[in-house]
Structure 1
């Protein structure tokens, strides 16, 4: 009888973990897609990246120790999956103008400015692009970005300011 009780409690724990995982994915599905799309600029590729991310996350969900780190953990998997996808497919990725249009940080009245910003972002390296996307398009705090990229906040600030400086130089050209 004791074995039956242990088996039942394990099944209950597994169901609770699966429900928790499903909730995490459901709450973040739009964000995951947006970030993936910002990397690959293709609907189908972005969906593939999200699917791969969910699969990888499901396999290692048991490793998440604290629930407050789930979003950071999931976003990190997505970013790494996106970068791996780009490297594997050796695609030249350009920033989508719709991404720029959908953000409130830029003046939506000037199409030329949007195009110039898009081109300036495209010239950044992967880490700089990631910081810009997470900071301005996903509206994340520097501390959140630092957790995702496993870097000190001061490093993220340096990357951000360097990226903005490079974009400024490119925009002046």
Structure 2
């Protein structure tokens, strides 16, 4: 109860321009923001850029948050949109690094295989899969976060899982295991 009251007063102070209150609101979210940004960008510097841009956008628009209970959701929505925007801009950039040949890639780690498979998903599936299984959000929370109906979220989660299964089975990484 005290934390809720404290968060509410922090939000109202931040809306009035109190920088310290805004910083305190971000303290609980900063690690979550970085982890989610890193999953999208796969690069420490880009992830930090996304988090920085997210914080700047949040600071500029803090007045739009209606209630303190939605602050984390609102902040995550900004981060996802910022990360996707950055990825779209960077798609036009061709990396100069030489790609390793297939024989050089070691795929012993199942987590690495899964992350690689998630990276191949369409953005709408990737986003809901990450929010559901990485952030442990409920379908309703994801729908609120993304601003879409719960049925759409359920469909995208299901289709994302189906694509993951096909991708992992096609590459022979699961050897018939079932998720």
Report the TM-score range of the alignment, normalised by the length of the smaller protein: 0.7 to 0.9
> Which region of structure 1 is more displaced relative to structure 2, 47-56 or 82-91?
82-91
Q: How does 1:85-104 map to 2 (within 5 A)?
A: 85-90=86-91
> Which region of structure 1 is more displaced relative to structure 2, 146-155 or 158-167?
146-155
Using a 3 Å threshold, how does the CA distance of structure 1 residues 163 and 61 change in structure 2: closer, same or farther? same
* Cα separation, 2, equivalents of 1:115 and 1:153: 30
Alignment correspondent of 1:42:
43
Alignment correspondent of 2:27:
26
Q: How many residues align?
A: 145
* Cα separation, 1, equivalents of 2:50 and 2:161: 27
Could you list the runs of 4 or more consecutive aligned residues of structure 1 that deviate by over 4 angstroms after TM superposition? none
Using a 3 Å threshold, how does the CA distance of structure 1 residues 34 and 115 change in structure 2: closer, same or farther? closer
1:14 to 11, 16, 27: 16
- Residue 140 of structure 1: CA displacement? 1.5
- Residue 14 of structure 1: CA displacement? 2.6
Alignment correspondent of 1:148:
145
Alignment correspondent of 2:120:
123
Using a 3 Å threshold, how does the CA distance of structure 1 residues 21 and 14 change in structure 2: closer, same or farther? same
* Cα separation, 2, equivalents of 1:19 and 1:42: 29
* Cα separation, 1, equivalents of 2:150 and 2:15: 36
TM-score by length of 1: 0.76
The higher relative CO (CA closer than 8 Å, separation ≥ 6) is in 1
- Point out where structure 2 has 5 or more consecutive residues left out of the alignment: 1-12, 95-106, 171-179
* Cα separation, 2, equivalents of 1:87 and 1:112: 29
Q: If each structure's helix is expressed as a fraction of its own residues, which one has the higher value?
A: 1
- Point out where structure 1 has 5 or more consecutive residues left out of the alignment: 1-10, 93-109
* Cα separation, 1, equivalents of 2:14 and 2:147: 33
RMSD of equivalent CA atoms: 2.2
Using a 3 Å threshold, how does the CA distance of structure 1 residues 154 and 14 change in structure 2: closer, same or farther? same
